[in-house]
């Protein structure tokens, strides 16, 4: 198994809330990443992120590992939640807030 996949697994397992995105939360480099960040930030919890533009290995390997072709990708408690459309839809119907609050509470306990 490649080191990149090991790195991805480590990032996912070490961060309760993790967003793989283009750019950073303060400087998103694509509209979809910007929407995902906005939805996540509205939940009011801290989250980790990986800028895939600075990590071409992860950008290449993660879609294969996740079986999800696009970015951003939101991972919560080791599970792929989805991309921009799913994140925004969940934010609109309140599901994202619940999921993020639970993940933050779980990670605070551990």
Is 85 annotated as a binding-site member? yes
Is 84 annotated as a binding-site member? yes
23: DSSP letter: B
74: left (phi over 0), alpha (psi -120 to 50) or beta: beta
The model's pTM: 0.95
pLDDT digits (tens, 9 = 90+) for 49-85: 999 999 999 999 999 999 999 999 999 999 999 999 9
**Domains, in order of start, for the chain:** 3-103 (3.40.30.10)
Q: Sign of the CA dihedral 62, 64, 32, 103?
A: negative
pLDDT digits (tens, 9 = 90+) for 8-23: 999 999 999 999 999 9
Is 59 annotated as a binding-site member? yes
Cα distance between residue 101 and residue 40, in whole Å: 11
Is 30 annotated as a binding-site member? yes
Is 43 annotated as a binding-site member? no
CA angle 46, 48, 52 (to 5 degrees): 145
């Amino acid at each position: 198994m490649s080191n990149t996949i090991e790195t991805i697994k480590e990032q996912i397992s070490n961060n309760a809330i993790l967003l793989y995105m283009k750019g950073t939360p303060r400087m998103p480099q694509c509209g979809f990443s910007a929407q995902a960040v906005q939805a996540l930030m509205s939940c009011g919890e801290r989250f980790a992120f990986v800028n895939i533009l600075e990590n071409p290995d992860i950008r290449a390997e993660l879609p294969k590992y996740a079986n999800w072709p696009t970015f951003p990708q939101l991972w919560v408690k080791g599970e792929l939640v989805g991309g921009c459309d799913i994140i925004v839809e969940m934010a609109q119907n309140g599901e994202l807030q619940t999921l993020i609050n639970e993940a933050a509470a779980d990670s605070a306990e551990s």
